Chains A and B, each alone.
Chain A
Amino acid sequence: MKESEIVDMVSRKLTPYILLLGLYLVSFGHLSPGGGFQGGAVLATGIIQLALARGVRATTRVFPLRRFSLVETAGFFLFLLIGTVGMLAGLSFLGIFLPTGTPGRIPSAGFIFFLNLIIGMKVAAGMSLICLTILKEQGT
């Protein structure tokens, strides 16, 4: 791929802010527009942009593909675990077992906050894994 100073510089300066915006969208998903899936997509955008500008090999040195698969799988099992804890607490599967608190405060909304975190990590890992694998196959 042809080297470009501008793309290289801009992508490296921009990626931390994109990741920060993604984390904000994930962690405030129960209070403001956003949520796990949207924030995860933004997080993946940052990582994919880094891969497009700097190449897959340099990106996988910071974000190893194996760790992405680990996060993707662990997210699913954590989701199931949260559902099962609801059953152990005497409710239905995925019943809301945490106190909902006062709407609007940051620790509120039961497990919605934790599910947003899990889904955000999972979507970011999954999308990045798919894109990096395809880019690697193409030899970028």
Chain B
Amino acid sequence: MGRQVKRALAIVLLAALAAVLFLTLDLGAAAPAALRDYLFERGSEETGSINLVSAIYLGYRVFDTLGETVVMLVSVMGVAAVLGEHG
């Protein structure tokens, strides 16, 4: 098979996949509304933080934040190990 044919086939396949994904998209989904309302009403009260972003990322999802700091630490360790002089 020539390169042109392969490329055309890939484009057609990807376009079909995109069409399927777009058709299954439900833009009127109402699932997160309950969670949103709960956080809006009780978020400040339960964590004591007015800033709801902080309330989520250091209150409800603080374990995620711990993982995020591990990612930061590992990337710093990688850069220091490759480029640093004292390892």
Q: Which residues in A have some Cβ–Cβ distance to B below 8 Å?
A: 29-37, 65-66, 69, 72-73, 75-76, 79-80, 83, 93-94, 96, 100-104, 108-112, 115-116, 119, 122-123, 126, 129-130, 133-134, 136-137
Q: Which residue of B lies closest to A73 (CB)?
A: B73
| B66 is an interface residue with CB less than 8 A from chain A | yes
Which residues on the A side are within 8 Å of B73 (C-beta)?
72-73, 76, 122, 126
Which residues on the B side are within 8 Å of A33 (C-beta)?
51, 53
Q: Which of A32, A36, A109, A134 contacts B83 (CB 8 A)?
A: A134
Q: A30 and B54 in contact (CB under 8 A), knowing A110-B47, A133-B84?
A: yes
Query: How many B residues have CB within 8 A of the partner chain?
Result: 30
Give the number of residue pairs across the A-B interface with Cβ within 8 Å: 105
| B58 is an interface residue with CB less than 8 A from chain A | yes
Contact digits for B58-87, partner A, Cβ 8 Å, 1 yes 0 no: 110011011011101101100110011010
Q: DSSP class of B's interface residues: helix, strand, loop or mixed?
A: helix
Please state if A129 and B80 are interface contacts (CB–CB under 8 Å). yes
Please state if B47 and A100 are interface contacts (CB–CB under 8 Å). yes
Please state if A96 and B44 are interface contacts (CB–CB under 8 Å). no
Shortest CB–CB separation between residue B29 and chain A, in angstroms?
28
How many Å lie between the Cα of A90 and that of B68 in the bound state? 25
Please state if B83 and A30 are interface contacts (CB–CB under 8 Å). no
Which residues on the B side are within 8 Å of A112 (C-beta)?
47-49, 54-55, 58-59
Q: Which of A66, A103, A111, A122 contacts B45 (CB 8 A)?
A: A103
How many Å lie between the Cα of A66 and that of B85 in the bound state? 11
Q: Which of A29, A80, A93, A133 contacts B54 (CB 8 A)?
A: A29
Please state if A130 and B57 are interface contacts (CB–CB under 8 Å). no
Shortest CB–CB separation between residue A38 and chain B, in angstroms?
10
Which residues on the B side are within 8 Å of A108 (C-beta)?
48-49
Please state if B50 and A103 are interface contacts (CB–CB under 8 Å). yes
Shortest CB–CB separation between residue A94 and chain B, in angstroms?
5
Please state if A115 and B47 are interface contacts (CB–CB under 8 Å). no
Please state if B49 and A30 are interface contacts (CB–CB under 8 Å). yes
Please state if B51 and A30 are interface contacts (CB–CB under 8 Å). yes
Please state if A83 and B66 are interface contacts (CB–CB under 8 Å). yes
